[in-house]
Amino acid sequence: MKKTHLVRKASEKKVERKTSRLPGFYRLSVEQRLAFLARTFHFTNEQIAQLRDGSALRVEHAVNMVENTIGVFGLPLGIGLNFIVDEREHLVPMAIEEASIIAAASKGALIIRNGGGFTTSVDEPIMIGQVQVLDLPDIDKASECVRARKNEILDRVNEADPRMSLRGGGAFDIETRLVEGGSGVGRMLVVHILVNVCEAMGANAINSVCESAGPIIESITGGRVNLRILSNLADRRISRSEFALPIDLLGDNGISGEIVASRMVEASRLAENDPYRATTHNKGIFNGICAAAIAFGQDWRAIEAGGHAYAARDGQYRALAKYSIEGSTLVGRIELPMQVGWIGGAVDTHPAVKTLRVISGVQNSRELAGLLASVGLAQNFAACLALCTEGIQKGHMALHARSVAVSAGVSVEDVESVASEMIRRGEVKVSVAEDILRGMRLRHIPARTDRELPVESFAHGKVILFGEHSTVYNHPGIISTIDLGLTVKIKPDSDGPRFLNPHFKQAFPIPDTDDDVRLFSRAADTALEMYGLQKAPIAIAVESNLVPGMGLGSSAAFSVALCSALRQFSGAPSNGQWDAELFSEAQKLEAVFHGNPSGMDAATVLSGGVIWFRKGPPREILPIRMPFPMSGLVCIVEPGARTIELVERVRDFRRRDRETVDAIFTEIANVVVDAGIALGTGDEKAAGRLMVKNHELLAGLGVSTPALDDAVNTLLDHGALGAKLTGAGGGGAVVALVEAERQQEIFRELVDQFALLFPFRLGANR
């Protein structure tokens, strides 16, 4: 059957996805990389969590995939970059435990894309099934009979699986081979049944075909059928990939392109003719192919077995990838069997495979076969190029140095600097890493040496004193800024624009706030687009002593501070105070976090002090003037739920029982009115009592938790005037009003009883 070429004519091009060229991707944190995927491919939080945690395949899936299941074993999952295959951009998911494989494939693809990328051709998906026939009195006659009755056999096996025929596939030809069995077995007839398996890898389909063919072949030959199974030497299903790279692009480190190309050809000739070198040469190819095949849910063992057998098809094991100089270009070529599937097996069973397919941009089994061949060629090209120039170890050194630094106990922030210093010294050892770290500490020299930032903007955090949830339904609320806050810094970055890993105050293990980090990255992208800075060479850094996801206004502070900073960067100074346009811009960022924000948080952060807020229309933002400063405590109690989730929970409750919920909202609104009067007249005790009442009403809405209730009671037992949950609830934080002269005393008594405890002054910034 004819080969199918995948290169598209210009008139046939589809709309392409974003480029696979992502400079500086390796410098991003894991959360920033995941944020990029979430933005680019519109993944849900659940999909991103599954990628991050390896939780897509759970034991309840695994128990239906293998016998004697006891759990799930994970592999590091990364993305191969820079691939252009048949004029299409591809990101390549790769699962592998060996360092530098993904980096090498990406580097090889980066160099090759300068010559236009890879061109592939892929055979029709033809697989071979084998039926072994023995005890034949006349083996030659039996072979002739099988061939003569080929159509009868094909009709029989296709009747057994009519669905494949309906899809345009099925068994279509038969061949026979005579094989010597040696002593005790003798000559045997092997019947090959050729099957077009369409979009499947085909193992199960082929085995079914062979088993269906067994009885009729026994009847025709008079022999005894033994094995009936597919062959993994899929030499009718070959994938080919090649590239042509101008030789002058190969020059590096003082070595001319001509010399590099000549060395590449010399290395290729050794692999083509020496099985010892060919084994290592091909192993590198399968480093890339198998890593990608695993991520795509393919039978990587079948691919590798078929590839090795194909490498030895003429009786000597040889290289699968070859290089030659043709005119002024270095041409690389690879061909090997590629038995892959787009349906069936782990492709349908493993939940993560569908997500990774979306990332890749691959649409069918033939595109996948061409991509995998290209990955193998890129991997081999990068390895051979390193061997012919700088040596293979230099490419491994950076990752090895980072690993050694981590083993020596170096902090995440200092790993890069310690690793770089070890490489500079030429000694990558744990003892050397420890010595470097000691020296840094003694000299008080930080590992990170960012230049002074040209733009900086600070915004306060906030607490809701009264009125959570009811404000969504146009009831009033009272909010106060607090002393804690967040700073956004903007600096030049040639790989920008980039959102650097934000530094937040942490109360709980990182996984509990990963979603917040990703949302901040998404909001930063929204801001860059809003101000027309999508290509600005800048980096955005965040330093915060606010704990995200705790109702402390970290998203509003970030939105206001970032908008203010980007305004300054764009030449439109902003002092971060109330400005209708700045408020509108901050609200667009807040929408990333909360869907449909009331505006209360952003208005508070911009206005400062203690404010009365109603979203309107018309919107009410009124300062509450207190006769003297009041003091409070913020207690971080437990990981919080998403604001958007809690708002939806209350909305569902209201749909089920509107009368009850609206009555609670009315009572909360009355509390807010009374609280405004108490704060305005300086009646701390009345304000405290109203906070407790507000908490009880919020508990009636179902947004409190036992831990929050216990925290409120603990604060009251230690002398707080009042306490309540603050923010959306479902966990998170409690805010308390305390007498100023007792603030530090209560703080000292309770500081060890909460994950974090902050004293604050109501109306900070005023």
Q: What share of the chain is helix, strand, coil (3-state, %, to 5)?
A: 50, 20, 30
The H or E element spanning position 651 is helix 643-656
Catalytic residue numbers read 98, 283, 299, 396
Asked if 747 and 719 count as a contact pair (C-beta separation under 8 A), the reply is no
Q: How far apart are CA 560 and CA 527, in angstroms?
A: 11
Residue with tokens 């400062």: 608
* Whether 177 contacts 192, CB under 8 Å: yes
Q: Rounded to an integer, what distance in angstroms lies between the CA atom of residue 734 and that of residue 489?
A: 30
Q: Cβ distance 83 to 359 under 8 Å?
A: no
Q: Give the whole-angstrom CA distance, residue 225 versus residue 733.
A: 73
CA dist., res. 213 & res. 681, Å (int): 94
> Per the structure block, which two tokens stand in for 262?
């000549």
DSSP letters spanning 331-380: EEEEEEE----SBSTHHHH-HHHHHHHHHHT--SHHHHHHHHHHHHHHHH
CA distance 237 to 634: 66
Rounded to whole angstroms, how far apart are CA atoms 92 and 295?
A: 9
CA distances in angstroms from 151 to 164, 174, 236, 657, listed in the order given: 17, 9, 20, 71
Helix residue ranges per DSSP H, 231-315: 257-273, 275-295, 300-311
Residue 28 CA to residue 659 CA, distance in Å, equals 50
Q: Are 718 and 685 within 8 A, CB to CB?
A: no
Name which of 121, 115, 97 is nearest 381 in CA terms: 115
Q: Which of 75, 79, 78 is nearest to 54 (CA)?
A: 75
CA 331-335-339 angle, to 5 degrees, is 150
Residue 348 contacts by C-beta under 8 Å, 6 or more apart in sequence?
none
C-alpha angle 749/752/758, rounded to 5°? 80
- Residue among 175, 204, 179 at smallest CA distance from 191: 175
Q: What is the 8-class DSSP label of residue 728?
A: S
The DSSP line for 687-717 is: HHHHHHHHHHHHHHTT---HHHHHHHHHHHH
Cα–Cα distance, 242 to 576 (Å, whole number): 56
- State the virtual CA torsion across 297, 302, 303, 304 in degrees, nearest 10: 120
The length of the chain is 766
Strands in 197-273 per DSSP E: 224-231, 238-246
Cα–Cα distance, 605 to 596 (Å, whole number): 18
Take residue 499 and report the two structure tokens written for it. Answer: 């959102």
Give all strands (DSSP E) within 86-136, no chain letters. 88-95, 119-122, 126-134
Element at 664 (helix H, strand E): helix 658-681
Can you tell me the distance from the alpha carbon of 281 to that of 267, in angstroms, rounded to the nearest whole number? 10
Residues sharing a CB contact under 8 Å with residue 264, sequence separation 6 or more, in sequence order: 250, 323, 330, 384, 385, 388
Please list the residues that pair with 191 across neighbouring strands: 131, 176
